[in-house]
A and B are shown apart, each in its own frame.
Chain A
Amino acid sequence: MTKLTHLAAFALMAVATLAAPARAELTIRLTDGVIEPMPVAIPTFIDEGGAGDIAASLSRVVAANLVGTGLFREIGAEAYISQVGSFDAPIAYADWQAINAQALIVGAASAQGDQIVVKFRVFDVFSGAQLGDGLQFAAPAASWRRMAHKVSDAVYSRITGEGPYFDSRVVFVAESGPKNERLKRLAVMDQDGANVQYLTDSSSIVLAPRFSPDGSRILFTSYQSGFPQIYVMDVATLQTRSLGQQEGTMTFAPRFSPDGQRVAFALERGGNSDIYTLDLNSGQLSQLTNSPSIETAPSFSPDGSQIVFESDRTGTQQIYVMPASGGEGVRISNGQGRYGTPVWSPRGDMIAFTKQNQGRFHIGVMLTDGTEERLLTSSFLDEGPTWAPNGRVLMFTRESAGAEGQAQLFAVDVAGLSLRPVPTEGPASDPSWSPLLP
């Protein structure tokens, strides 16, 4: 009887196996996609009343933002087969498929009192479906560019899955005058180069501005006293204060901690520089390194537990990581050439740096343990990378060769895509990206 039971169980299993839908299914592994901009259609936003030119301007800024990433390619309106007559009209997917638009952005703007309301939807054309929910924003008409940046952020994040970064600003050093007598002053602009505002005059040289984590303050180095000295500026009031100066010392390369309560910087005394932190609440100064070599360019990890910095303690400029409380540090750069200006990604996964090798300068990224080094640029002089708030894009300074050479801001995707200049009114250097605007 037991044997019969076993046989019956076996039979049941066999039948269950036979009855299961074990139909042959072809399985294919795909590993070789294409890296090319995604074709996207961005018809002019519909004016639903009173928006006037703002509707068209909004769509142009959105298109410029998306195309500027290098990840998208806009399909010209002349190629459109069908037009979007109203915001709620059904989408003629076949018409957009025919022009190979993979995504379609439909938007509209209207005036409501003194506000402009913008709404939009994103469609996956070939899947015939809307991507996510529609969104809308409202703001005074004067802030229409910010609304455009917010729309761009939402579209970008919805399609790519990356965090937003268009609605952010960049502080930089605006330069003028000949190369040997250059005047420098701090300026701030939208990440796309618009809305430039100057924060200081040109009476003294300023260097290396750095936004605080909340964007309300800016650290910078100034020669106002005749020697490099760190100052902090309140962005709203422009009130500027020195962070203190010890006799016979120079301070430079400041950067905020992630909580904004401390500043790490380099302090030079007698030809030797080490890294210090200053507690902004208590004024307490802490020395983190103590080496006869030059240590500088500290940058906190996003969790505040570590600091990456550069040092020439081995004879050449290299990158090290140490605890935020100080210590010897561990060298993480191991390639050929010299490494400097390390900056920890806001996502914490990578460190951007400047590399000099064989007479060329590069902007590169590596994992925080120094592996998977990737050089993103190469030129006569590239230096000083800064991360976008989403950790996907880098901005840096590129200076051309020769007596007429000028500094210019460039941006590049962390994958090395879409290297492009950032438009500024004149020569510019030392960019520092703000967090997303509130």
Chain B
Amino acid sequence: MGVWRDMDTGTKASAIAHGALIAWVIVGDVLWPFDTSSMPEVANVSLMSEADFAALQASAPKPSEAEATPPPARPEPAEQPAEPLPEDLPVASEAQPEEAPPPVAPIAGVEQPIPVPQSETPPAPRPMDRVAATPVDEQPDTPDVADQAAPEVSDEVPPDAEVPPPDQPAAAPQEAAPVVVTEADPAPEDAPQLAPTTSIRPKSRPARPAQTPQETPPPDADADAEAIAAALAEATADAPADTAAEPAADAGASADIPEGPPMSGGEVEGLRIAINRCWVTSTLSTEAMNTTVTLRVEMSEAGKPTSIEMTSFEGGSAAAADRAFEAGRRAVNRCAGANGYDLPPEKYGQWNVLNLIFDPNGMRLR
């Protein structure tokens, strides 16, 4: 008791608490039995190898895949002949097809070749049998679609486009309209009538006159003049045959077509913008986007195209040029609309034939 008395209060409290804990451990289970129903269940385990685990996992059912894939039809892979692989290549230790989720229908079962319809024998799979280029003749009395197409185009050709007399030499009109606006040198906006291009040229010739004075004058000018006149007369007689060989150039070139002043820059630009707006290049192939095509367009006085043909192309194959031509033709026809392009009628002689160069090269990377 003396020891107890000598203890401080903290030590006494600690001794009492430890005593109580020891007593609870010894007799607690008797006084307050443990409720075993709340204990977690414990299962016996054993270690297994990785191979065993893989095999177990592989053989386990896989409900989700069974739902996702259609049942049967999968050929039994184990019986299938091997691929043309080398015999010595190792086969996967756990062959996947055996464990693969059921039912994967082979692609070949679905992808049946498409035979040629009229053929009775099972045909070459790929061939795409042609329908007649023109509508089928099953109904000979029905209008032919392709035949209908041409008249619809040609119906719109104004009669005057075919009028030009074949024997009319084009020489006379030429001198009256020498202005040609090229892609490299677009027409200046305020160009004087018929003047600009011809008035500039003399500047490049000053060097020659220095030698010309050295030459002796022609001795018999009269005789030469007669010879020239005779040659001219003879040549003029042959001219109609030459011009007839180029009918397209004469399409709108009859003498009564008003030449008018040259197209102003604004008018040309307006036409360019109008056609650009309808020129859809997004459907051109990569190769066609590298192909520049030149279209010759004959126009009616109403401002509508009457004939469109490709005169040249560069940068791509003929097939690509055809696609580029079609895109250009669509643009010209589409933006002409029902009323035609808004072009000055008094200058019809300037725009009755258009050379349109469709150059998509700059648009490739946009």
Using a CB–CB cutoff of 8 Å, the interface residues on chain A facing chain B are 3-4, 7-8, 11-12, 14-16, 18-38, 70-72, 86-91, 93, 97, 100, 102, 112, 115, 117, 119-121, 123-124, 126-131, 133-140, 142-143, 146-147, 150, 154, 159-162, 169, 176, 185, 188, 195, 197-203, 217, 222, 224-226, 231-245, 280-283, 347, 349, 372, 374, 391-392, 414-415, 417, 425, 437-438
* 15 pairs, CB–CB < 8 Å, chain A vs chain B: A15-B232, A16-B242, A25-B355, A32-B362, A33-B276, A90-B148, A138-B115, A146-B114, A147-B114, A159-B323, A176-B64, A198-B101, A200-B100, A239-B77, A282-B86
Closest residue of A by beta carbon distance from B226: A4
Collect the chain A residues with CB atoms within 8 Å of residue B334's CB: 97, 100, 102, 126
User: In the complex, A130→B170 CA distance in Å?
Assistant: 36
Say yes or no: A236 contacts B108, CB within 8 Å: yes
Looking across the interface, which residue of chain B has its beta carbon closest to that of A238? B97
Contacting pair B97 A240 (CB below 8 A): yes
Centre residue among B65, B144, B224, B282 by max chain A CB count within 10 A: B282
Of all chain B residues, the one with the shortest Cβ separation from A129 is B149
* Chain B residue with Cβ nearest A243: B89
**With A and B bound together, what is the CA distance between A300 and B323 in angstroms?**
31
| A390 to B, closest residue via Cβ | B285
A241 contacts B228, CB within 8 Å? no
Within the complex, what minimum Cβ distance (angstroms) separates A172 from chain B?
14
Chain B residue contacts of A236, Cβ below 8 A: 75, 106-108
Q: Are B281 and A35 in contact (CB under 8 A)?
A: yes
State the CA gap A34–B287 with chains docked (Å). Answer: 17
Q: Is B191 an interface residue (CB 8 A)?
A: no
Q: Which residues of B lie under 8 Å from residue A136 when comparing CB positions?
A: 117, 128-131
Find out whether the CB atom of B117 lies under 8 angstroms from the CB atom of A115.
yes
- New A-B contacts (14) at CB < 8 Å, excluding given A19-B235, A90-B143, A235-B108: A11-B228, A15-B235, A20-B174, A30-B272, A38-B283, A115-B115, A188-B107, A202-B64, A203-B57, A203-B99, A233-B96, A238-B75, A238-B100, A240-B95
Given A72-B283, A201-B65: A137 and B129 interface contact (C-beta under 8 Å): yes
Q: How far is the CA of A147 from the CA of B117 in the complex (A)?
A: 12
Task: Pick the contact of A240: B96, B320, B360, B366 (CB < 8 A).
Answer: B96
- Cβ of B231 within 8 Å of any chain A Cβ, yes or no, is yes
Taking the complex as formed, is B113 at the interface, i.e. its CB lies under 8 A from any CB of chain A?
yes
**Distance between Cα atoms of A27 and B276 in the complex (Å):** 14
Q: Which residues of B contact A242 (CB under 8 A)?
A: 89-92
CA distance A158 to B132 in the complex (A): 16
Chain B nearest CB from A22 CB (Å) reads 5
A174's nearest neighbour on chain B, judged by CB, is: B68
Verify if B302 is at the interface (C-beta below 8 Å from A).
no
- The 9 A-B pairs with the shortest beta carbon distances in the complex, nearest first, are A21-B249, A134-B131, A18-B171, A15-B235, A161-B285, A161-B323, A33-B279, A138-B117, A29-B183
A14 / chain B contacts, CB cutoff of 8 Å: 232
Residues on the B chain within 8 Å of A232, using CB:
83, 85
Residues in A neighbouring B18, C-beta threshold 8 A:
none
A160 contacts B281, C-beta separation under 8 Å: no
B342 at interface by CB-CB < 8 Å: no
A199 touching B149 in the complex, CB below 8 Å, given contacts A11-B228, A27-B180, A137-B129: no
Residues in B with CB closer than 8 Å to A162 are 285-286
Residues from chain B with a CB closer than 8 A to the CB of A31 are: 276, 359-363
A135-B131 in contact (CB<8A):
yes
B111 touching A198, Cβ below 8 Å: no
Contact with A along B285-303 (1 / 0, CB 8 A): 1111000000010000000
**Contact assessment for B89 and A91 in the assembled complex, using a CB-CB cutoff below 8 Å:** no
**In the assembled complex, how far is the CB of residue B36 from the closest CB belonging to chain A, in whole angstroms?**
36
Q: Are B280 and A34 in contact (CB under 8 A)?
A: yes
Chain A residues positioned under 8 Å from B179 (CB to CB) = 24
Q: Which residues from B are CB-within-8-Å of A437?
A: 111
Query: CB distance A126 to B232 under 8 Å?
Result: no
Q: Please, which residue of chain B has its CB at the minimum distance from the CB of A37?
A: B282
A124 proximity list for chain B (CB < 8 A): 326, 329-330
Chain B residue nearest to A102 (CB atoms) is B330
